[in-house]
Amino acid sequence: MKIRHLLADLHGCTAPLLDDVDALLGLLRAAAANVGAHEYGRTTARYVPHGVTAVLILAESHMIVSTWPEHRLALVEILLCNEDMDPEEAFGAIREGLVPDHVELHQTVRGIHP
């Protein structure tokens, strides 16, 4: 089994979405749609005074975005256990939505067994 994992740090995000729970969940849904992944559950949390965590649980694992609007920062995690689905392709929707000026991207493969 091959599990593909993407971590992304999005710096300098200018979009007001960083503090918008529904919009962030919408970006995760768009990311899932990009690769044909299926929503299986969700949860969100809004921090006081600012910041959001949005989690989309998928039939093919999960996607999460955490934001720190005061630092114009979003951290994204995409885990997909269907090896035909490319996390970077999914990530495109989030990147477009949050308009960062700099992205650090790490994609790895996890959980391989002989």
Give Cα separations from 1 to 5, 22, 52, 55, 64 (angstroms). Answer: 13, 33, 32, 23, 22
- DSSP state letters, 82-101: -TTS-HHHHHHHHHHHH--S
**Cβ of residue 43: shortest distance to a copy of itself, in angstroms?**
4
Among 1, 6, 30, residue whose Cα is nearest residue 98: 30
Could you say whether residue 105 binds a copy of itself (CB under 8 A)? Answer: no
Q: Which of 91, 88, 37 is nearest to 64 (CA)?
A: 91
Subset of residues 37 to 96 that bind a copy of itself, contact rule: CB under 8 A: 40-45, 47, 53, 55, 57, 59, 61-62, 64, 66, 68, 71, 73, 75, 77, 79, 81
Least distance (Å) from a copy of itself to the CB of residue 33? 19
Residues that bind a copy of itself (CB under 8 A): 1, 3, 5, 7, 9, 11, 40-45, 47, 53, 55, 57, 59, 61-62, 64, 66, 68, 71, 73, 75, 77, 79, 81, 110-111, 113
